[in-house]
Amino acid sequence: MTRWSASWQLVFHELGQLNDADLGRAVYLRGQSLSVSAALLRQLAHTVYHVGQIVTLARQQSKSWQSLSVPRGWSTTLNERMRNG
C-alpha cells in the first residue's frame, strides 16, 4: 500500500503540472504519436484493467467479500432512494 500510495501521489503531482496547452502536445507511446490527453485516457484504461485484475483476485481469495459498489440486487432500492432524496 505504501508503494501504491506513493505512485498515485506522483501521478497527481505530475498531472498538476500540466496546463491546457500541454493536453494537445504530441507524446509517443510505443512509437505511436498521441496527444497528451489521448495518452492520459489510454493510461487510465490500462490502469483500470489492472485494478480490475486486483479486485478479481481479492474477491476469489476472500471469504467475506463486500461489494465495492452497489451490491447485487440493490440497484432498484438505491435508485428509489436517490429519486426520493
Question: Does the reported pTM lie above 0.75?
Answer: no
Q: What is the tens place of the pLDDT at every residue in 6-40?
A: 999 999 999 999 999 999 999 999 999 999 999 99
What pLDDT is attached to residue 2?
96
Length of the chain: 85
What pLDDT is attached to residue 85?
78
Q: What is the tens place of the pLDDT at every residue in 40-81?
A: 999 999 999 999 999 999 999 999 988 888 888 999 999 999
How many Å apart are CA 41 and CA 70, to the nearest integer? 25
What pLDDT is attached to residue 21?
94
Tell me which DSSP letter residue 70 carries. Answer: S
Cell numbers of 46, please?
490500462
How many Å apart are CA 79 and CA 85, to the nearest integer? 10
